[in-house]
A and B are shown apart, each in its own frame.
Chain A
Amino acid sequence: MAQGSDLDSGHTNASRPGAPMSAPEALHWFLHEVLPLEAMLLQYLRHNWRDESDVEDLLQDIYVRVYESAQKELPDNTKAYLFQTARNLIANRVRDRRVVPMDAVADLDALGVAIDTPGPDQTLAARDELRRLKEAIEALPPRYRDVVVLRRIRNLSRKEIATRLNLSEASVSVYLTEGMYALADILYGEQANPRKRP
């Protein structure tokens, strides 16, 4: 397993004929500048879109749009660009679905996040990430936490984990999959969806 996912991406670009060669740069931007804003973005979407069940889809749509556009040109201000995309997307959906505009949408700007504030400095961000990683691991349900810790931090094999926790290897895989899913959600989305976790 490669360390970060930046390194993983080499082969994937080759298999995406549409992706220009600047893709690694866009990916780096997405992973390091966009993902850390996910919690804020989710909060914004929940404020401005009543139907909670659409939020994941809105978020995914925003990611696809900003990433595809970043492949052509990186934006100057990531935060401003991200929230502007979110705002446009919501406006489009209101129009397309003929959803009656509601107060929530009217308040779009009033509720908007202060997008002009500069990001935190890198040292602080790095320390913050470590704290959030710790919290993310601690927030996992116990069984998932055990499997994730043994695999990721103790580097035990699935077989060793299975023996140690008295599980089948298949169960270890299931816990690991869900643990990976939840870890990303907690790390980036700040426990946004506890009910979606197992």
Chain B
Amino acid sequence: MSGIGPDSGAAERAVAIKHQAAAWLERRDRADWSENDQRQLDGWLGASTANFLAYQRVAMAWGRAERLVALEPREFQPASAGRPAPGRSFFMRAAALVATLTLFAVGGAAYVLLPKVETYSTPVGGHRTITLADGSVVELNTDTVFRADLGLTHRAGWLEKGEAYFSIAHDANRPFVVTAGNHKITVLGTKFSVRKEPDRLEVALVDGRVWFSAENGAPSQSALMTPGDVLVATATSVSVTREPSKRISDELAWRSGIIVFHNTPLAEAARQYNRYNREKIVIGDSFAAAHEISGALPADNTQEFAHIAQKFFGLRVKRNGDEMVISR
């Protein structure tokens, strides 16, 4: 059973419980299930109602699936057992697979003939998902420039500016190296995000392991990161903190177009908003700046922000060309 740390956010905990329930059910389905196993399962089920219900739920689905035995057994000929399963969906899936493989083949051939670095970018407020030739997926946040160079023996990317979330396909022979400013992030296969600002770089690791290092090789500027780590590098320092996974998922909320604030001073909130919108929010005075905001807001909606400033903080909002000034 995979353990879940005390840091795990509620969402991950719910999913982890469902996984554990499935793992118990799988164990229970084995021929060598023992009394000792049963005692352990009873302990796990008794530990919380959530555990108990998750197990009952997955066991119910599994139990019900047996009903299919009675129904046209031939319908479920396994795909790899010689005879293909009849039905439209199978052929469509197969056709899709062939199409994908062809695309990969064409993509690969084109690459060998024309090695070149591809540049991808997003405008302010933009959001774009790219699938690279190796199957890695890169999601670009607002106002971002990313270059990728994938070769037969190397995989490299440069985050010139902005923020990106990487889901790197595993390839032990070809580490993926992401360079951002003077720093390098080296990975084999993992999920992480990188945000590059003029004076600082932030890396949040969701899954797997990454090796963070400085271009000048200074050991004090290097770190091996494990999931849940958030690293902040400035020109002179590197610090790593372990964050609750809730915070990591908040950091990544931009992937669904949301910014999450936790007692965030209004000026900082405005700065974050301004990354996404052409219309810039300006905090007019220190009275307005002193307010703190919490909650999840759509990144592309300055209106919502103005609404909160007015309704909840009683501040004034004045439109001034491309600016929205919030003040006492």
CB A117 to nearest CB in B, in angstroms, measures 24
Which segment of B51-59, B124-132, B227-235 sits at the interface? B51-59
| Count class of interface residues, chain B | 35 or more
Report the minimal beta-carbon distance from B250 to chain A, rounded to whole angstroms.
Answer: 9
Residues in B with CB closer than 8 Å to A57 are 10-11, 13-14
A29-65: CB near B (< 8 Å → 1, else 0) gives 0110001000000000000001111111101100110
Neighbouring B residues of A142 by C-beta, 8 Å:
79-80, 93
B50 near A54: Cβ-Cβ < 8 Å: no
Bound together, the chains give a CA A12 to CA B51 distance in angstroms of 11
Interface pair A148/B65, CB less than 8 Å apart: yes
Among A151, A181, A188: residue with most chain B CB under 10 A: A181
The reply on B322 being an interface residue by CB < 8 A is no
- Per the 8 Å Cβ criterion, residues 158-181 of A in contact with B are 158, 164-165, 173, 176-178, 180-181
- Interface pick from B22-30, B110-118, B217-225: B22-30
Interface presence of B159 (CB below 8 A):
no
Dominant secondary structure at the A interface: helix
Residues of B within 8 A of A87 (CB): none
Judged by a CB distance under 8 angstroms, whether B31 is at the interface is yes
* Residues 61-96 of A at the B interface (beta carbon under 8 Å): 63-64, 67-68
Given known A-B contacts A5-B56, A137-B76, A142-B79, A15 and B65 have beta carbons under 8 A apart:
no
Per-residue contact bits, chain B 30-74, to A (CB 8 Å; 1 contact, 0 not) = 110000001000110110111011111111111111111101010
- CB of A27 within 8 A of CB of B11, answer no
Complex Cα gap A50–B257 (Å): 10
Q: Decide if A102 is an interface residue (CB 8 Å cutoff).
A: yes
In whole angstroms, how far apart are the Cα atoms of A151 and B31 in the complex?
A: 12
- Asked if residues B62 and A180 are in contact (CB atoms below 8 Å), the reply is yes
CB distance from B95 to the nearest CB of A (A): 14
Chain B residues whose C-beta falls within 8 Å of the C-beta of A153 in the assembled complex: 65-66, 68-69, 73, 76
- Additional A-B contacts beyond A130-B68, A180-B58 (14; CB < 8 A): A3-B66, A15-B46, A16-B52, A31-B57, A51-B260, A56-B15, A97-B295, A102-B295, A134-B68, A136-B61, A137-B65, A153-B76, A157-B31, A181-B58
A contact residues vs B (CB 8 Å cutoff): 1-6, 8-9, 11-12, 14-16, 27, 30-31, 35, 50-57, 59-60, 63-64, 67-68, 97-100, 102, 129-130, 133-134, 136-138, 142, 145-146, 148-153, 155, 157-158, 164-165, 173, 176-178, 180-181, 183-185, 187-188, 196
Interchain residue pairs with CB less than 8 A apart (29): A1-B29, A1-B62, A3-B63, A4-B64, A9-B56, A12-B52, A16-B45, A31-B57, A53-B11, A54-B10, A100-B312, A102-B297, A129-B67, A130-B67, A138-B89, A146-B79, A153-B73, A157-B31, A158-B31, A177-B25, A180-B26, A180-B58, A180-B61, A181-B18, A183-B58, A184-B22, A184-B60, A188-B57, A188-B61
